[in-house]
Amino acid sequence: MASPEAPPGPALSGDPNSAGSGSGSGSDVSTPENLVAQSEAPLEPAPVSPSDQSDRTETEVEPPASDTQDDSSDPLPDAQIRDDFSEPAAGERSGAATEAGRAISVAPTRKRRRRKKFFTEINGGPSLSRNRRYRLADPAKEIDMEALIAISVGFPVDSLTEEEIEANVVSVLGGSEQANYIIIRNHILARWRSNVSMWLTFEQALEAIRTEHRTLVHSAYYFLLEHGYINFGLAPAITEVKLRSADGGERANVVIVGAGMAGLVAARQLVFLGFKVVVLEGRARPGGRVRSKKMSGDGVEAAADLGGSVLTGINGNPLGVLARQLGLPLHKVRDVCPLYLPNGKAVNKDVDSKVEVSFNKLLDRVCNLRQSMIEEVKSIDVPLGTALEAFRHVYNVAGNPQERMLLDWHLANLEYANASLMSNLSMAYWDQDDPYEMGGDHCFIPGGNERFVREFAKDLPIFYGRTVESIRYGLDGVLVYAGGQEFRGDMVLCTVPLGVLKKGTIEFVPELPQRKLDAISRLGFGLLNKVAMLFTYNFWGADIDTFGHLAEDPSMRGEFFLFYSYHSVSGGPLLIALVAGEAAIKFEMMSPVESVNKVLDILRGIFTPKGIVVPDPVQAVCTRWGKDHFAYGSYSYVAIGSSGDDYDILSESVGDGRVFFAGEATNKQYPATMHGALLSGMREAANMLRVAKRRGIGSQ
């Protein structure tokens, strides 16, 4: 109900482009005064409790060097995680106004992280406590703030998303109704984001809106709810509701293939939407490519993220919401990243800066002139590496050996960002997801990202050790064969990695449409490997989170080129060395002992001349994601001849609403990320609901 202070008269609007911009003199645009009531009861926060560790089990200590990565292990309990975190990343304290401040990005500054473009955040809003009202005195500013929050989540400024259009959230596109809907949608989204530990009810969403807009509130609220934009996550108030059907009915039976981030999130959302689900997982654990390995020895222990590790931008990131709900302080990855030559000496800062600027200019020139280059070489597409090398010669960049090693380091960093060799990347579309990237800091999660996975997996019907061999679908439903068993359902959601689809280890009957098979073939699925080493003490220093090492051999430029320090978040002195590009492929042919010894040689070459003793690690683990039969790689990239459209094709359902697909490689906006996988699971849950309603699959 609207408050008594709500001004009389209906909201009027004629220009949808005005939504979120306040009122203008002499126009019939919706004004905050006409749309939103002037008083609102403050939101009471739901308590946030630490994650339950009672079901955690210890794992046997492995030999000092191992390439085992698929045995089950758990993140460390909260009590064992160091509490000397840095200040939580800006905006992750709480409050929608703070989130709005994080939503704006300004001119990009290049930083040495796994990312293609980097955004400096403007923290323009005040930090608000969870139970403080986020509403501002000026309604126009309030609407602007709420619009910024919506933008950070991925909504356009003044138009509807394709999902909203498909959901028929308004009766007429482009008119005053749409403009009012956008303002209301942004308001509901911002209200929940002000306290993500509570369950926002329809009645609460309606409180601050005039009664004549009840229909639009209903439309916006249930769209946001069913598509997972509000009331999602791991707070007790959320999980209590999510594990039962919202309306008590059962719409259909769904078989979910894969208990990774996409599959788990989809399962929880589908249960809430009234579906009966079963999850089939080939591994003995949930999480897929999100894997936190407990390492220990000589009185020290730590949780190492062997798969997905860094939250790449927290502005609007759903993983940031999960961290807030669990009370986890995010550790900002600091930008300081000293580089060292092959002989262990530090790279001259002036030379380092010069080459970094030159590299960024090369990349900008290629991106700006890519279309003309494509026409010049008379090809649909060319490798990004070929284009960069051509420009390097034209502009005489990196002429001496040291500068060339520095340039190779930056190329290795780009190969890390894309999990592939420069020679495989599409010059035309390698960065197609840049416009959608979430700005803000890159962050670590204390104790490992598998903490999210464990919470999502709780109370779900997951069958482990069930490797799916066949998916059969037709007018009467689906049959999934796994581990000698047959699982029947009305629909199936396939969330296996692109690498598995490329291998063809799952038989689809009938065969997938040629359009989808072609997209699977065109898109790339690359490789990144890691060496995680636990030491008895931190010898590299507590003032940096990353440092880099240059290689003399260009073909091995990605071998241990970047080190991540997890000491402040893992629970112990943990160092992780990355292996990218061609080196990542050769790495899987080496023995773990040989790999660890190479890393130690590099570390001792850097620190021994400084009088610092580098001990042997008490435990070391080497990943082998390329040999992992449940992944066959690390994450997707846009290969030569591919484009962002192939991500959309991979996400398309087949069999007239019987077989659906989710996972990072089905998310055009956020591929190769953990949050991209999560969002794809939410997306497909909503798609399955829409199809079930339209076709009457199952019984409500």
- Quick one: pLDDT at residue 114? 41
Angle formed by the axes of helices 214-226 and 176-193, to 10°? 50
Between strands 300-305 and 292-297, the pairing is: antiparallel
Question: What mean pLDDT comes out for the span 294-300?
Answer: 95
- Give residues with Cβ within 8 angstroms of 618, minimum separation 6: 64, 296, 297, 298, 300, 534, 535, 536
Distance CA 657, CA 190 (A): 33
CB 632 within 8 A of CB 500: yes
Burial class (CB in 10 A: 0-12, 13-18, 19+), 239: middle
CB 198 within 8 A of CB 241: no
Burial class (CB in 10 A: 0-12, 13-18, 19+), 206: buried
Sheet (strand 442-444) strand order = 311-312, 442-444, 331-332
Structure tokens at 76: 């460390």
- Give residues with Cβ within 8 angstroms of 455, minimum separation 6: 51, 234, 239, 326
DSSP 608: G
pLDDT at 296 over 50: yes
Q: Enumerate long-range contacts of 54-60, CB under 8 Å, 24 or more apart.
A: 58/294, 59/294
Q: Report the largest interatomic distance among the alpha carbons of the chain, rounded to a whole angstrom.
A: 77
For 453-497, what is each residue's pLDDT tens digit? Answer: 999 999 999 999 999 999 999 999 999 999 999 999 999 999 999
The length of the chain in residues reads 700
The CA-based angle 52-54-56, given to 5 degrees, is 100
Mean pLDDT is highest, among 16-20, 97-101, 166-170, for: 166-170
- Quick one: pLDDT at residue 468? 98
- Give residues with Cβ within 8 angstroms of 655, minimum separation 6: 473, 474, 478, 510
At residue 46 the predicted structure's pLDDT band, cuts being 50, 70 and 90, is very low
Query: pTM for this structure?
Result: 0.83
- Quick one: pLDDT at residue 58? 33
- For the chain, report the end-to-end CA distance as a whole number of angstroms: 30
At residue 382 the predicted structure's pLDDT band, cuts being 50, 70 and 90, is confident
Question: What mean pLDDT comes out for the span 370-398?
Answer: 81
239 or 94, which is more confident: 239
Residue 340: what residue type? Y
CA dist 398 → 366, 416, 608 (Å) = 17, 21, 29
Sign of CA dihedral 368, 371, 376, 378: positive
Distance CA 484, CA 466 (A): 8
Question: What mean pLDDT comes out for the span 631-640?
Answer: 98
At residue 242 the predicted structure's pLDDT band, cuts being 50, 70 and 90, is confident
* Average per-residue pLDDT for the chain: 83
Best CA proximity match to 684, nearest among 275, 315, 314: 275
Question: What mean pLDDT comes out for the span 415-435?
Answer: 95
350 or 244, which is more confident: 350
pLDDT at 36 over 90: no
Neighbours of 515 (CB within 10 A): 12
Distance CA 365, CA 76 (A): 46
At residue 367 the predicted structure's pLDDT band, cuts being 50, 70 and 90, is confident
Distance CA 695, CA 135 (A): 42
Residue 62: what residue type? E
3-state secondary structure of 373: helix
Between strands 529-534 and 574-579, the pairing is: antiparallel
Burial class (CB in 10 A: 0-12, 13-18, 19+), 587: buried
For 663-675, what is each residue's pLDDT tens digit? Answer: 999 999 999 999 9
- Quick one: pLDDT at residue 70? 62
Best CA proximity match to 686, nearest among 91, 250, 272: 272
Residue 93: what residue type? R
40 or 180, which is more confident: 180
Give the up-direction half-sphere exposure of residue 545: CA atoms within 13 A in the CB hemisphere.
19
Least confident residue range of 374-388, 534-548, 592-606, 677-691: 374-388
Question: What mean pLDDT comes out for the span 681-693?
Answer: 96
pLDDT at 694 over 90: no
For 116-139, what is each residue's pLDDT tens digit? Answer: 332 222 223 333 333 334 444 577
386 φ, ψ (degrees, to nearest 5) = -65, -45
pLDDT at 381 over 90: no
pLDDT at 152 over 60: yes
Best CA proximity match to 316, nearest among 139, 155, 434, 201: 155
pLDDT at 588 over 60: yes
Q: What is the dihedral of CA 399, 402, 406, 407, to 10 degrees?
A: 20
Per-residue buried b or exposed e for 527-554, using 16+ beta carbons within 10 Å of the residue's own CB: bbbbbbbbbeeeebeeeebbbbbbbeee
For 173-218, what is each residue's pLDDT tens digit? Answer: 999 999 999 999 999 999 999 999 999 999 999 998 988 999 999 9
- Quick one: pLDDT at residue 374? 61
Question: What mean pLDDT comes out for the span 143-152?
Answer: 92
Question: What mean pLDDT comes out for the span 375-395?
Answer: 83
Distance CA 285, CA 260 (A): 9
pLDDT at 91 over 60: no
CA dist 556 → 114, 401, 552 (Å) = 18, 15, 8
